């Protein structure tokens, strides 16, 4: 059961400073050009909790775009496991939900030691979304705009104060250590929380039911002609995959410094690239663009639920922002629903 506290906004900087004294503190930060980026927070007043979906997503801090796994030489192998305790502060509920999905992938039967090293030392502090972006559709997926569980702490902006919910013992310890700034909520705080959540839910412009879309695909109601009409708009830039907080594809390469020494590196990869399925001998099973586009949607809407019990999408809307060809989950899902209805007539 979550316990709630009130944190006056005047005390936020103090609290962040205390978190920074014991953890690497990553937070949405306004940089010199006014952009909001997720980065290590240096000056507390630069925290920006009211920005849009962050690029890159918090995935970058658990599965970096490029990371050294180990280096090797004649003396042996030296692993590069990250051991710093870290707080991801002010991340959106959809992104936190995406991390929970990444956990099922990287910490399932076969644990990824590098992911686990980061994840086990990372505290997740979410901020509920009071104003969803026009591209957001987490509401229909249960991945936002606020969460019931899964976080260490969840903050909701109530104007001059935050309502802070604890979701784990780790989260609770970061609050109960400072009883002079975290106080008990009053009945009016509960009323404000209720109204804030109601107002947030009413602002969603996009309503997407992925479960219906999944059923349409599984019933064979989506033709190859439809997927061709989607694929023809794809520039094969990979932006959808790189920016998606749930996509997990990576490649591993060795970079030799000499015949005896070098390093092994992991990099993000994307199934939207032709070479992703290249095999020895040069055969590429998913050479046609339609196969790659169709597979990305099938993977997220059918195979993820089968394997992991959740869609490979949390409704963050980043693919809508990043795709130059308007091939984003919400648009394609709504087109599938429309097309399936037309076929039913």
Angle at which helices 224-231 and 289-298 pack, to 10 degrees? 110
Q: Which stretch binds ligand SF4 (CB under 6 A): 38-46, 70-78, 103-111, 231-239?
A: 231-239
Task: Find out whether 244 and 300 touch, Cβ atoms under 8 Å.
Answer: no
What is the spatial distance between Cα 43 and Cα 65, in angstroms, rounded to a whole number?
25
Q: For 153-166, b where at least 16 C-beta lie within 10 A, e where not — what string?
A: bbbbbbeebbbbbb
- Shortest distance in whole angstroms from residue 37 CB to ligand SF4: 18
From the list 12, 54, 87, 314, which residue makes contact with ligand SF4 (rule: CB under 6 A)? 314
193 binds ligand SF4 (CB under 6 A): no
From the list 102, 153, 234, 310, which residue makes contact with ligand SF4 (rule: CB under 6 A)? 234
- Write out the E strands in 55-176: 66-73, 76-79, 86-91, 122-127, 153-157, 161-166
Kindly write out the interface string for residues 259-298 of this chain, putting x where it contacts ligand SF4 by CB under 6 A and - elsewhere: -------------x--------------------------
**What are the two backbone dihedrals, phi and then psi, of residue 203, each rounded to the nearest 5 degrees?**
-90, -5
Using CB under 6 A, count the residues that bind ligand SF4: 27
93 binds ligand SF4 (CB under 6 A): no
239 binds ligand SF4 (CB under 6 A): yes
From the list 123, 128, 316, 336, which residue makes contact with ligand SF4 (rule: CB under 6 A)? 316
214 binds ligand SF4 (CB under 6 A): no
25 binds ligand SF4 (CB under 6 A): no
332 binds ligand SF4 (CB under 6 A): no
67 binds ligand SF4 (CB under 6 A): no
Task: Find out whether 231 and 240 touch, Cβ atoms under 8 Å.
Answer: no
- Shortest distance in whole angstroms from residue 96 CB to ligand SF4: 12
Task: Find out whether 185 and 5 touch, Cβ atoms under 8 Å.
Answer: yes
Q: Which stretch binds ligand SF4 (CB under 6 A): 11-19, 165-173, 195-203, 229-237?
A: 229-237
Task: Identify the residue whose tokens are 């936190």.
Answer: 96
What is the spatial distance between Cα 184 and Cα 186, in angstroms, rounded to a whole number?
7
Closest C-alpha to 229, from 302, 290, 147: 290
Q: Long-range pairs for 35-42 at CB < 8 Å and ≥24 separation?
A: 38/91, 41/16, 41/89
200 binds ligand SF4 (CB under 6 A): no
From the list 67, 325, 331, 335, which residue makes contact with ligand SF4 (rule: CB under 6 A)? 325
From the list 246, 286, 290, 301, which residue makes contact with ligand SF4 (rule: CB under 6 A)? 246
From the list 329, 332, 333, 336, which residue makes contact with ligand SF4 (rule: CB under 6 A)? 329
List contacts with ligand SF4 (CB under 6 A): 234-240, 243-246, 272, 300, 313-319, 322-325, 327-329
């Amino acid at each position: 059961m979550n316990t709630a506290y009130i944190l006056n906004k005047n005390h936020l900087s103090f609290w962040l400073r205390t978190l920074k004294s014991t953890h690497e503190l990553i937070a949405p930060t306004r940089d010199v050009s006014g952009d909001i980026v997720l980065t290590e927070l240096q000056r507390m007043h630069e925290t920006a909790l009211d920005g849009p979906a962050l690029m890159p997503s918090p995935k970058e801090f658990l599965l970096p775009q490029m990371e050294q796994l180990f280096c090797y030489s004649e003396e042996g192998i030296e692993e590069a496991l990250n051991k710093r305790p870290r707080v991801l502060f002010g991340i959106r509920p959809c992104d936190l939900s995406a991390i929970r999905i990444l956990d099922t992938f990287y910490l399932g039967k076969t644990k990824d030691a590098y992911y686990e090293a980061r994840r086990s030392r990372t505290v997740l502090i979410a901020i509920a979304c009071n104003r969803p972006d026009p591209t957001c559709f987490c509401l229909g997926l249960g991945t936002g705009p606020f969460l019931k569980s899964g976080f260490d702490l969840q903050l909701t902006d109530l104007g001059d104060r935050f309502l802070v919910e604890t979701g784990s013992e780790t989260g609770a310890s970061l609050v109960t250590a400072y009883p002079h700034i975290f106080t008990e909520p009053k009945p009016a705080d509960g009323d404000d929380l209720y109204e804030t959540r109601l107002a947030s839910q009413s602002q969603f412009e996009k309503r997407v039911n992925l479960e219906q879309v999944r059923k349409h695909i599984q019933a064979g109601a989506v033709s190859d002609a439809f997927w061709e009409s989607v694929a023809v708009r794809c520039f094969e830039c990979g932006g959808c995959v790189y920016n998606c907080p749930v996509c997990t594809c990576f490649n591993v390469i060795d970079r030799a410094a000499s015949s005896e020494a070098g390093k092994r590196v992991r990099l993000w990869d994307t199934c939207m690239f032709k070479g992703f399925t290249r095999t020895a001998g040069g055969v590429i099973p998913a050479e046609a663009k339609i196969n790659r586009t169709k597979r990305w949607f099938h993977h997220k809407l059918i195979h993820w639920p089968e394997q992991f019990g959740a869609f490979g999408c949390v409704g963050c809307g980043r693919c809508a922002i990043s795709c130059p060809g308007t091939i984003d989950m919400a648009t394609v899902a709504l087109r599938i629903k429309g097309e399936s209805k037309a076929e039913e007539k």
